[in-house]
Amino acid sequence: MTDFRTLDAVGDVHGKVALVRVDLNLPMQDGAVTDDTRIKASAPTILELADGGAKVLLLAHFGRPKGARSSVMSLSMVIDAVQDVLGREVMFVPEIYGPVVEQTVGILPPGGIAVLENTRFWPGEEANDPELAKAIAANADLFVNDAFSAAHRAHATTEGLAHVLPAFAGRAMEAELTALQKALGNPERPVAAVVGGAKVSSKLDVLTHLVGQVDHLIIGGGMANTFLAARGVDVGKSLCEHDLAATADQILAAADKAGCTVHLPYDVVVAKEFAANPAGLRTCNVHEVAADEMILDVGPQAVEALADVLKTCRTLVWNGPLGAFETPPFDAATVALAQSAAALTREGALVSVAGGGDTVAALNQAGAAGDFSYISTAGGAFLEWMEGRELPGVKALQR
């Protein structure tokens, strides 16, 4: 199933130098890390290698310094947070190759951990310059990639290093790939996909890929409006990409041909203004939306029917909220369906995988995230995987 090497195949690492690509692109405020989830994700990999006696050099990018040093994007800022999560002392090295790194390797004891500087300070990182990869690799014995979230980029430390050093997937990468494989690679059927969010245009490739992969495609959010409009429904003032009507029709036709049932809402929650609990808030059939109203959520009857669809499924993959969930009560459909999926997952009836920045926030808001089989925080990489693309960072591990 998984044709990449994991840490199980790494052998004795005592005294060896392991370059570990992690995700330290952390949310910061006033110089302090505000959310250490990404450090926690890679802590098992880092500690496993360190406890095996490896000298661990962490590689990561931060922000978009565009190939030049920038004091406000130095990874020195994350050292305290990394130390807190790992519970170990961690060195900072203001380089990623060359004599300073070599000296660090010399003084690090087996099990020692260092964070190297922001890889994107070097233009060769994003250019995937093989010379940079070789220079970084010169100080190490092996490469471990634990940053699925950066795997959609072919950069020197996400892809290039895998060609010049023995390469392994870290534990977080392994967990992500295993979960994604279970959800779309080789899933138990029937499979349902929920695709929501604001716009069809941002997820065209996702929709196009999924209709050929899943048995039920549940479309919600603003993008449902585009599909409804394409079918001749008057969606009033709703967010809607009228120019994509033909595209929406093509997707519906492709789904039909592939035997994929597309579910669009038949009742919706509408309002005359986009505000919390606005005046004139009402639920109606999709054919009853007035010219001055906008659709802001899927209606309760449709949600009940969708929950029944999930009951017939064995696998669920979810990206995108069903409504404008940040503004109450337009979170109701997302929360209700998330809770149904969570309950089915708890019962062991459903494998549920979700990803996407707003999706993860919405599932947390619903109190459902903890019950999902797997939640991907990978953003862009998760979406590219949902588009059926081969991720270069993953492919490089599959030699």
**221 lies in the site for ligand ADP, by CB under 6 A:** yes
First-to-final CA distance of the chain: 14
Residue 295 interacts, among Mg ion, ligand ADP, none and using kind-specific CB cut-offs from 5 to 8 Å, with ligand ADP
Residues contacting ligand ADP: total by CB under 6 A: 20
Contact 92, 115 (CB under 8 A): yes
* DSSP secondary structure, 205-239, as one string: HHHHHHHTT-SEEEE-HHHHHHHHHHTT---TTS-
Judged by CB under 6 A, does residue 296 bind ligand ADP? yes
Which residue in 16, 38, 120, 153 is the catalytic one? 38
Closest distance between Mg ion and the C-beta of residue 233, in Å? 25
CB 343 within 8 A of CB 379: no
User: Is residue 239 a contact point for Mg ion (CB under 5 A)?
Assistant: no
Question: Whose Cβ is closer to ligand ADP: residue 104's or residue 247's?
Answer: 247
Nearer to ligand ADP, 123 or 380 (CB): 380
3-state SS of the chain: helix, strand, coil percent to 5? 45, 15, 40
Q: Identify the H or E element spanning 298.
A: strand 294-298
One character per residue 336-375, x = contact with ligand ADP (rule: CB under 6 A): --------------------xxxx----------------
φ, ψ for residue 396 (rounded to 5)?
A: -65, -20
Which H or E run includes 314? none
> Cβ 134 to ligand ADP, closest distance in Å?
37
The binder of 136, among Mg ion, ligand ADP, none, by C-beta within 5 to 8 A per type, is none
Mark the segment that binds Mg ion (CB under 5 A) among 29-37, 68-76, 295-303, 354-362: 354-362
CB 61 within 8 A of CB 120: yes
Q: What burial class does residue 347 get, using C-beta atoms within 10 Å of its C-beta: 0-12 exposed, 13-18 middle, 19+ buried? A: exposed
Element (H, E) at 32: strand 32-33
Write the CA distances from 244 to 184, 193, 219, 247, integer angstroms: 27, 21, 15, 5
Nearest distance from C-beta of residue 30 to Mg ion, angstroms: 25
Per the annotation, the verdict on 38 as an active-site residue is yes
Tally of CB atoms within 10 A around 394: 24
Among 22, 77, 180, 324, binds ligand ADP (CB under 6 A): 324
Task: For residue 13, give both structure tokens.
Answer: 């690492």
| Residue 379 touches Mg ion, criterion: CB under 5 A | no
Distance CA 177, CA 171 (A): 10
Query: Which among 18-26, 178-186, 299-307, 358-366 is the span making contact with Mg ion, rule CB under 5 A?
Result: 358-366
Check if 21 is active-site: no
Q: Which of 183, 181, 185 is nearest to 169 (CA)?
A: 181
Question: CB 100 → ligand ADP: shortest distance, Å?
Answer: 39
Stretches 24-32, 128-136, 299-307, 351-359: which one binds Mg ion (CB under 5 A)? 351-359
Report if residue 364 touches Mg ion, rule: CB under 5 A: no
229 binds ligand ADP (CB under 6 A): no
Token code pair at residue 248: 């929406």
Active site residue 236: no
Specify the residue, 112 or 323, whose C-beta has the smaller distance to ligand ADP: 323
Asked about 380 being catalytic, the answer comes back as: yes
Among 65, 197, 265, 299, binds ligand ADP (CB under 6 A): 197
Distance CA 27, CA 34 (A): 6
Q: Which is nearer to ligand ADP, 356 or 393 (CB)?
A: 356
Distance (Å, rounded) from C-alpha 8 to C-alpha 238? 52
Active site members: 38, 199, 357, 380
Q: Which residues bind ligand ADP (CB under 6 A)?
A: 196-198, 202, 221-222, 239, 295-296, 319-321, 323-326, 356-359
Q: Which residues bind Mg ion (CB under 5 A)?
A: 357-358
